[in-house]
Structure 1
Amino acid sequence: MATLPYWRLSGFYLFYFALLGATAPFLALYFHHLGFSSARIGELVAIPMLMRCVAPNLWGWLADYTGQRLLIVRVGALCTLFSFALIFVSKSYAWLALVMALHAFFWHAVLPQFEVITFAHLREQPERYSQIRLWGSVGFILTVVILGRVFEGLSLDVYPVTLVVVMAAIVLCSLWVPNAQPSSGNRKVLADGFFKQLRSPGVLAFYACVALMQMSHGPYYTFLTLHLESLGYSRGMIGLLWALGVVAEVLMFMAMRRILLRFSVRRVLLFSFLTAGVRWLLLGSFAEHFWLLLLAQLMHAATFGSFHAAAMTFVQRSFGPGQQGQGQALYATLAGVGGAAGALYAGYAWNTLGPTITFSMASVAALAAAVIIATRLQEDRP
């Protein structure tokens, strides 16, 4: 068996999620710095998520058809860099909307296909996925802590430059990663098999829950930083709070191999959704109490860590080797639909209904997913 290129795969995840660490806490803050209203901020944040409804399926089909997954990752990363650099041309709402859409079209080509490459390298040891993926969480932590401190002393005008630097690092890492392919077969059989697998018990229910989970994260990813600033927390402290959540996520990833060997995917997903329902209530109603805010951030271990690892395992088990690209693309698409819906409703509700009601709506979405998983997904053996 070929040696696992652990550090090459891990390095890519490190910088990929470093970019998420630069955008999730600070993108809405940057748009607020430019003077946009909460509704416009919600729309701008939603645009890249909406692009996930189209781009991953197109790239996923192309990857499964051509087998050129690594080439798609490299081209996607490079085009993401060039298209996002257009942000330096203008800061008008229409131009920023175009930049958000254009760079996201290429950006969403990258991760689903890289996940397939990672699992192809792992082959008979997919439970080691979380040991590689945790380096993405490390990248997120480093970025939010560093940028939180930087933006206490520097103007947010330098923010786009930091994103371009991280995107350039992703391009370089993509050139370092060796290729690997899942086994392939007759393409018509694979296509027919993909739609057949979608009709398997619980698969569509799982994807519906993916959308609901991402929708519940809408207020968190769009307005948490602004929410905490309004409660008097400094940007440096906010960066540390974001990092705390991801530290908890890293610890969960480190434990996920043992957890998935002991507990079924269904139980892990159910636990993740129930925890999310509680977490959003704490953030919406009790974030001014520091110890409850710390508890809510520690819950990120479940609302992202255990959820994502279990979801990736479910997709890997549910589709054959030649269907993995489409399975990952559909996961990204439904996550995009849910994320866009969450950002949009959060943007429109934030000023009119307030943080408490907005986060309560997120809690309802997560609990609805818990009900669906409990009633529609069959118990699987760990």
Structure 2
Amino acid sequence: MTTAALPYWRLSSFYLFYFALLGSTAPFLALYFDHLGFSSARIGELVAIPMLMRCVAPNIWGWLGDYSGRRLAIVRFGAVCTLLSFSLIFVSKTYAWLAMVMALHAFFWHAVLPQFEVITLAHLKGQTSRYSQVRLWGSIGFIITVVALGRLFEWLSLDIYPLALVLIMAGIVISSLWVPNAEPVQSERIAGDGFLQQLRSPGVLAFYACVGLMQLSHGPYYTFLTLHLEQLGYSRGLIGMLWALGVVAEVLMFLGMSKILARFSVRRVLLASFLLAALRWVLLGSFAEYVWVLLFAQVLHAATFGSFHAAAIQFVQRSFGARQQGQGQALYAALAGTGGALGALYSGYSWNALGATFTFSIASLAAFAAAVIIATRMQEDRP
């Protein structure tokens, strides 16, 4: 397939806006709730709610996408409903109302990405090594947003934060209307197998368990890193650039992933990603006051997200047939959501009581446990 046949910019624009939204929530959502006066426990709960919805929503929408084949319609519907439901945040800022808004908009937001991943891979027509070249624009959207908002919140009040999110959500809606549809080609090798049968293939369940552990380990990072660095004396502008540094490293990793996956097996890439994650959380929890350590820890985002996600997407794509791709991607999203929600909850309850070092140490143990599972339960695959 030639580059001209791939709707590269249409696919890339969607990833840019979708992950721009993540770039506006991951570093700043907890900061906004802190600005509203909520305790660390309540912040952990509010951040966990969208992740809990990620456990349920992708499976519902994934089944519907596989059953109907109308994946792009689901993407567009989910994007519009995400915008409309989040706009309810302007009505009230009470805990109960914010919890409802977090749950409602997340139910639709998490319908979008797993189905879009299937559409993207269908456009690539089996050339999964090119996935990273499209997906890197999501990382660029994250970088632009996190740096811009970091600087903006040095000048203006966090009261404008919900408006910034609504504008980005409108970009997701517009970009979804620009994307052409595509359906995965039926695979003769596993087309006749059901989803549960494919799920019981060697190493698949072990992989999904490790997805949950990896996202659990990210709980303190996504929930409290910004507050952690503020308490250490870093400015919001610098914090935004530190978040961006991690995603720049992720982008560079995505650019090289096709060569890496051509040389090394998915199992080895995943194993390295988990071990480096375990190291990263120790550094952030215990040594973040040293700038050079903090810079190195953020560069490790190339492994804890970049190489992990690219290898995981390739593993899911090759492990399921065309009619089960949506469910395979949805289960990946759901278990990531389960792990992320548990990570946000435990870190919310332990942050003030036990401190940053202990909280990040739990994260490191979770990542190391995933490395052990991959090393012992996943079979070596051909690169």
Match of 2:336 in 1: 335
Q: What is the DSSP-based 3-state SS (H/G/I as helix, E as strand, rest coil) of the residue aligned with 2:92?
A: coil
One-letter amino acid of the counterpart of residue 302, structure 2:
A
One-letter amino acid of the counterpart of residue 315, structure 2:
F
Q: Is the 8 A contact 2:187 2:321 kept in 1?
A: no
1:357 equivalenced with 2:372 (yes/no): no
How far apart in 1 are the matches of 2:375 and 2:218?
Answer: 20
Match of 1:287 in 2: 288
Match of 1:241 in 2: 242
Q: Is the 8 A contact 1:183 1:322 kept in 2?
A: no
Tell me which of 106, 109, 114 is aligned to 1:107: 109
How many angstroms does 1:128 deviate by? 0.1
Match of 2:270 in 1: 269
How far apart in 2 are the matches of 1:361 and 1:244?
Answer: 24
Match of 2:42 in 1: 40
How many angstroms does 1:53 deviate by? 1.1
Match of 1:174 in 2: 176
How many angstroms does 1:190 deviate by? 6.3
Match of 1:15 in 2: 17
How many angstroms does 1:324 deviate by? 0.4
Q: Is the 8 A contact 1:245 1:298 kept in 2?
A: yes
Equivalence map 1:59-208=2 (5 Å): 59-184=61-186, 193-208=194-209
Q: Is the 8 A contact 2:186 2:321 kept in 1?
A: no
How many angstroms does 1:185 deviate by? 9.0
One-letter amino acid of the counterpart of residue 213, structure 2:
L
Q: Is the 8 A contact 2:273 2:308 kept in 1?
A: yes
One-letter amino acid of the counterpart of residue 28, structure 2:
F
1:242-283 CA-partner distances (Å, limit 9, x unpaired): 000000000000000000000000000000000000000000
Unaligned residue ranges in structure 1 (runs of 5+): none
1:6-43 CA-partner distances (Å, limit 9, x unpaired): 00000100010000000000000000000000000000
Q: Is the 8 A contact 1:191 1:323 kept in 2?
A: no
How far apart in 2 are the matches of 1:86 and 1:326?
Answer: 30
1:55-114 CA-partner distances (Å, limit 9, x unpaired): 000000000000000000000000000000000000000000000000000000000000
Q: Is the 8 A contact 1:197 1:318 kept in 2?
A: yes
How far apart in 2 are the matches of 1:310 and 1:182?
Answer: 19
How many angstroms does 1:321 deviate by? 1.2
Distance 1:319 1:202, change over 3 A: same
How far apart in 2 are the matches of 1:55 and 1:256?
Answer: 29
How far apart in 1 are the matches of 2:78 and 2:360?
Answer: 34
One-letter amino acid of the counterpart of residue 373, structure 2:
I
How far apart in 2 are the matches of 1:256 and 1:66?
Answer: 33
1:99-142 CA-partner distances (Å, limit 9, x unpaired): 00000000000000000000000013111000000000000000
How far apart in 1 are the matches of 2:377 and 2:127?
Answer: 28
> What percent identity do the matched residue pairs reach?
78
1:146-205 CA-partner distances (Å, limit 9, x unpaired): 00000001000000000000000000000000000013599xx96952110111111000
1:380 equivalenced with 2:381 (yes/no): yes
Corresponding residue pairs, total: 380
Equivalence map 1:305-320=2 (5 Å): 305-320=306-321
One-letter amino acid of the counterpart of residue 159, structure 2:
D
Q: Is the 8 A contact 2:59 2:327 kept in 1?
A: yes
One-letter amino acid of the counterpart of residue 64, structure 1:
D
How far apart in 2 are the matches of 1:174 and 1:191?
Answer: 31
How far apart in 2 are the matches of 1:124 and 1:69?
Answer: 18
Match of 1:323 in 2: 324
1:344-377 CA-partner distances (Å, limit 9, x unpaired): 0000000000000000000000000000000000
How far apart in 2 are the matches of 1:231 and 1:151?
Answer: 18
Q: What is the DSSP-based 3-state SS (H/G/I as helix, E as strand, rest coil) of the residue aligned with 1:53?
A: helix
One-letter amino acid of the counterpart of residue 265, structure 2:
S
Match of 1:24 in 2: 26
One-letter amino acid of the counterpart of residue 360, structure 1:
S
How far apart in 1 are the matches of 2:186 and 2:307?
Answer: 30
Match of 2:214 in 1: 213
Q: What is the DSSP-based 3-state SS (H/G/I as helix, E as strand, rest coil) of the residue aligned with 2:194?
A: helix
Q: Is the 8 A contact 2:48 2:341 kept in 1?
A: yes
Compute the TM-score of the two structures, normalised by the length of structure 1.
Answer: 0.98
Match of 1:56 in 2: 58
> CA RMSD for the aligned pairs?
1.3
Unaligned residue ranges in structure 2 (runs of 5+): none
How far apart in 2 are the matches of 1:91 and 1:290?
Answer: 36
How far apart in 2 are the matches of 1:134 and 1:118?
Answer: 13
One-letter amino acid of the counterpart of residue 351, structure 1:
N
One-letter amino acid of the counterpart of residue 55, structure 1:
A
